[in-house]
């Protein structure tokens, strides 16, 4: 299942879903793409190209699905700087 954060709304994220993340090519910060997915579904999607606004650089970065990963809602990543 793949959705966008605006469709999740007030009901919150379902178990097993996480935010699709990419890394800012300039700062190395992780950026939330606004896409919500489970790992299995995301990893089996066809290759696609997208853009995401980076709050660190204040510009849009282009990215391919192969450069992204699903960050579990329950998981925490203290070793990474997160931008959303």
pLDDT digits (tens, 9 = 90+) for 4-46: 544 444 445 556 799 999 999 999 999 999 999 999 999 898 8
pLDDT-derived band at 78, boundaries 50, 70, 90: very low
Tell whether the model's pLDDT for residue 73 goes beyond 70: no
Tell whether the model's pLDDT for residue 74 goes beyond 80: no
Whether this model's pTM surpasses 0.85: no
- All structural domains of the chain with their residue ranges: 2-76
Q: How far apart are CA 56 and CA 71, in angstroms?
A: 19
**To 5 degrees, how large is the angle CA 64–CA 6–CA 54?**
45
């Amino acid at each position: 299942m793949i959705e966008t954060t605006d469709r999740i709304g007030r009901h919150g994220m379902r178990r097993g879903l996480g935010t699709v993340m990419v890394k800012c090519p300039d700062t190395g910060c992780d950026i939330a793409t606004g896409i919500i997915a489970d790992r299995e579904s995301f990893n089996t999607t066809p290759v696609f190209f997208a853009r995401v606004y980076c709050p660190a650089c204040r510009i849009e970065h282009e990215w391919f699905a192969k450069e992204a990963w699903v960050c579990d809602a329950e998981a925490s990543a203290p070793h990474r700087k997160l931008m959303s």
